[in-house]
Structure 1
């Protein structure tokens, strides 16, 4: 019988900040969204203060100050690197591991000798000792049951085994909207049919579920019944579209500022494209003003360009994005956000070549140049080697006034130990 586990990092962003700063032990910690806008992560201590997820930071400054809450800007380089360390640590201990999100991973545990709860305790301890990140682990006979078990683990001692007798008793305590794969729309539909808990869903008519919730809904019901339908994915499937966009730290009113922003986003999107060994044939660029400022002149528009040959070469993508931006920009507007989306994505090794479009003669040189660029940024930190088109310390850059150091990805920001 297969045995699955879902390992979830507790309050991941906040835990990353605590891992490198002993002064934060037992202290409330919150992490803010882009441009230091809203709360996107809370430590256990912050949750006890009643700080809601998504709360605008400026509305809670008095609460933060009164309760000595440590407030941080989102440090995505740190969180991404710490996630990779946690996932590698777990992958070394189990037969199979699927990275589900930045802070979650599915594990296959069947075939391992001994007590599963004790083994999961060893996983938690090694991850805590090697990375400083706390874990909750749920165990089940399917991925859906492991996901449900993880919710119970967070409320208990950090590990919960949802197998054997008593499964239905626990499923009866789980609201149907908390079942993996059931979103708000389906939850509303199910409740209208008096299907209110995970146990109700498990016992629901499968013909009706298949008709109204498609094959995926039927798989969820079968998984709640202990029948595995969703296997471990050893490698995530390549993305069919790659988007990079941000709200600006300050309004951008000139074309030069927008050029820098769009160039920066196109460069990052190209890096992601190469990261999955793909090429793209469509480049989209959008810009928009602030829709919540009716006193401002409004403009929101997206334009796309089709490339003659699918590519992953950053200069080609930059050239296309800049051409689109020239058509989009309007004088006299205060722009708040821009973005670049790459589509028409296909594997680099099987891309379709055009018979009439010119083929790049220096394809090998281009590939080597991009490999050097990506390797330098992996080794020394993203942005260490960048295109000048993206600007240097631009005024539009994301507001991150409470940013912690890049403890693990920048040589000049490593922690120093004095003995």
Structure 2
């Protein structure tokens, strides 16, 4: 845990992914919309300069302004695949790559005398092989690397190396950084710190860690030490195990059709089960939620039910049987549902389970394990929903509204990019 650490951050990631396969969007104000084309969740620099705020509902953007910009439906399948490609390039250069989010990753450079030229070479390699522009911040600790990355975005080279704590420029930089811009410090915590007279990153770095631990938390004490140049944080991989897995989305339009609702539930169950197997876990229970829109009148219904399984499982068939049982318990005829979700609960690692004499060790269970493995391999190779357990209508009313979604040309054979000869 000695460092140094580099933080690689993809610039305007969602927009950059769209621009890779649509060069016409370069230099154009572009916004990415949330599920069902609701609100703006990502903006290009050009769109920011036009004053379009993060989170603004698309229908509230003035028509005159809308004609000057491009709004794209979110294309998470494309973004996830492009993120994996960026990580692949990083891992070809360095061993200690630790994913942090879909558009950020750490590189643990302990024992490596890294140079600015090397980081520039990495940046150029990522751009050349994926088309994604990145910024890189280098510092002795992760907290300082996060801050260094902010400056890297403003640097013409896209790389910024934080001055060493012994360098006079280091405290000067921290004095110029408001405490609410420090990684991990939110608005409420910043207000509490300001009430104690801690207004800047430098003030936090010079505060007594023991006093911070008593008054706030051990995490804040470690943040202060990191700002002073002592590495304290271990970063869990972005794919670290979760204690529950939830797949839940609003429907593109409300429906009272039980067939359509069950198809949505079936899709959510398939996806949750796939994620469960990816992290090597089993689930002991399935929770189903169904709800109407909060804006409708007296016919509102918000229900949830938990179905306990006979034994821990990774089997999509078993989860679907439980989800069907929950659906039959919750569904009300004539009610127009707007949202449903499936949560797999009480998760445990497959290699950490207590064996039971009553456990399911039948040949059918072994066969289902092999079937699930085959299902996952097919979907990894040919794209999500290439194979599913149970019929799922791709044009059903439960499908997300995404009228402006670009092609998923890196994961779908039928959406490959086409080149025209002129």
Q: Which residue of 2 aligns with 1:365?
A: 367
Q: Which residue of 2 aligns with 1:151?
A: 150
**Cα 1:98–1:23, aligned 2, differ >3 Å: closer, same or farther?**
same
Q: Which residue of 2 aligns with 1:135?
A: 134
Give yes or no for contact 1:309–1:354 (8 Å, CA) kept in 2.
no
Q: Where do 5+ consecutive residues of structure 2 fail to align?
A: none
Q: Where do 5+ consecutive residues of structure 1 fail to align?
A: none
2:280 paired residue among 263, 277, 281: 277
Q: 1:42 deviation in Å?
A: 0.8
1:231 paired residue among 219, 228, 234: 234
- What number of residue pairs does the alignment pair up? 416
**Cα 1:319–1:212, aligned 2, differ >3 Å: closer, same or farther?**
farther
Alpha-carbon RMSD across the aligned residues, in angstroms, is 1.8
Correspondences of 1:10-409 after superposition (within 5 Å): 10-60=11-61, 62-67=63-68, 69-113=69-113, 116-157=115-156, 158-164=158-164, 165=167, 166-233=169-236, 236-291=239-294, 293-356=295-358, 358-409=360-411
Give yes or no for contact 2:316–2:389 (8 Å, CA) kept in 1.
no
Give yes or no for contact 1:309–1:359 (8 Å, CA) kept in 2.
no
Where 1:78 maps in the other structure, the secondary structure is: helix
**Cα 1:179–1:360, aligned 2, differ >3 Å: closer, same or farther?**
farther
Q: 1:235 deviation in Å?
A: 7.2
TM-score, length-scaled by structure 1: 0.94
My pick for the range that moved more, 36-45 or 301-310, is: 301-310
> Separation in 1 of the partners of 2:261 and 2:413?
31
> Separation in 2 of the partners of 1:185 and 1:138?
27
Give yes or no for contact 1:96–1:232 (8 Å, CA) kept in 2.
no
- For residues 202-236 of structure 1, the C-alpha deviation after alignment (integer angstroms, 9 at most, x for no partner) is 12232231123322121111111111111354674
**Cα 1:105–1:15, aligned 2, differ >3 Å: closer, same or farther?**
same
My pick for the range that moved more, 232-241 or 249-258, is: 232-241
**Cα 1:94–1:376, aligned 2, differ >3 Å: closer, same or farther?**
same
Give yes or no for contact 1:3–1:141 (8 Å, CA) kept in 2.
yes
> Separation in 2 of the partners of 1:354 and 1:288?
38
TM-score, length-scaled by structure 2: 0.94
> Separation in 1 of the partners of 2:134 and 2:360?
53
My pick for the range that moved more, 163-172 or 385-394, is: 385-394
**Cα 1:235–1:243, aligned 2, differ >3 Å: closer, same or farther?**
closer
Q: 1:268 deviation in Å?
A: 0.3
> Separation in 2 of the partners of 1:319 and 1:23?
47
> Separation in 1 of the partners of 2:64 and 2:8?
32
Give yes or no for contact 1:240–1:343 (8 Å, CA) kept in 2.
yes
Where 1:287 maps in the other structure, the secondary structure is: strand
**Cα 1:224–1:75, aligned 2, differ >3 Å: closer, same or farther?**
same
Where 1:171 maps in the other structure, the secondary structure is: helix
**Cα 1:151–1:123, aligned 2, differ >3 Å: closer, same or farther?**
same
Q: 1:356 deviation in Å?
A: 4.2
> Separation in 1 of the partners of 2:108 and 2:64?
43
> Separation in 1 of the partners of 2:359 and 2:108?
48
> Separation in 1 of the partners of 2:245 and 2:355?
21
Q: 1:64 deviation in Å?
A: 4.2
